[in-house]
Amino acid sequence: MSIFEHTVSRLSGEPSSLDSFRGRTVLIVNVASKCGLTPQYEGLEALQRRYAERGFSVVGFPCNQFLGQEPGTAEEIQTFCSTTYGVTFPLFEKIEVNGEGRHPIYAELCEVADAEGYTGDVRWNFEKFLVAPDGSITRFAPQVTPEDPALVGAIEALLA
């Protein structure tokens, strides 16, 4: 089963999947509102605005597994993201990205190695998985910012 086929709910609670993103370039990110990396929302939104018309989308999955840094309700998360960072990219339900409760989407994503060869558990908030239109995945560590030339170059190569 591909990551596009798993059932997941939108932050609003409506059942969905990532199927509408199939064949597009997608950056999947586990996000949190009270993390030192939270300002990355600004860069993620900039990527969304810059490349959306070319078939790209950021997709956010709030996660509270890292020191409780996403404690809010769905409504609180949505309000924070839209009013603080102007987020327009889709946000899905709060999920677990590690452990026994790991969402099936992340079970697949965590099998992918990053540039340093790391596979396995998500290390922190804002770990990034760039999914190409053909379904191949490139993994980026949480500290790789949305403006990082390696990430931007990888996105642009897929949109060329």
pLDDT tens per residue across span 20-47? 999 999 999 999 999 999 999 999 999 9
Indicate the length of the chain as a whole number.
160
Question: Does the pTM of the predicted model rise above 0.75?
Answer: yes
Q: Is 35 a catalytic residue?
A: yes
State the virtual CA torsion across 94, 27, 151, 156 in degrees, nearest 10.
-160
In angstroms, how far apart are the furthest CA atoms of the chain?
39
pLDDT tens per residue across span 60-96? 999 999 999 999 999 999 999 999 999 999 999 999 9
Q: Catalytic pick from 35, 63, 81, 110?
A: 35
50 burial (CB, 10 Å; 0-12 / 13-18 / 19+) is: middle
**If DSSP codes are grouped into helix, strand and coil, which group holds residue 124?**
coil
Q: Which domains does the chain have, with CATH numbers?
A: 7-159 (3.40.30.10)
